[in-house]
């Protein structure tokens, strides 16, 4: 159930992905899979931040094509 909540939180995106996803992953009791879940959560968070940062400029240029750099 906790893994489902983590995946649901990560799928929602937005600013809550870093706080909610990592908090949910860290709140898992000590089980053998905990380290893997925390690692995957951090990878998803970092990838999401990098991907959003790389595409934000292009999105703004498409929304406001008349504004120059």
- Domain extents in the chain: 2-63
Residue 35, both tokens: 């380290």
The reported pTM is 0.60
Q: What is the pLDDT of residues 2-49, one digit of tens each?
A: 555 555 555 555 555 566 777 778 888 888 888 888 888 888 888 877
Beta-carbon contacts of residue 2 (< 8 Å; ≥ 6 apart): 24, 27, 28
Kindly list the distances between the CA atom of residue 24 and the CA atoms of 1, 16, 21, 35, 52, in Å, as whole numbers in the listed order. Answer: 11, 11, 5, 13, 22
Residue with the larger pLDDT of the pair 6 and 55: 55
pLDDT given for residue 4 in this prediction: 59
pLDDT given for residue 5 in this prediction: 57
């Amino acid at each position: 159930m906790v893994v489902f909540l983590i995946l649901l939180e990560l799928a929602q995106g937005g600013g809550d992905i870093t706080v909610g996803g990592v908090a949910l992953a860290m709140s898992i009791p000590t089980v053998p899979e905990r380290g893997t879940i925390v690692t995957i959560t951090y990878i998803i968070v970092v990838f999401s931040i990098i991907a959003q940062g790389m595409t934000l400029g292009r999105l703004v240029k498409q929304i406001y094509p008349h504004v120059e750099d």
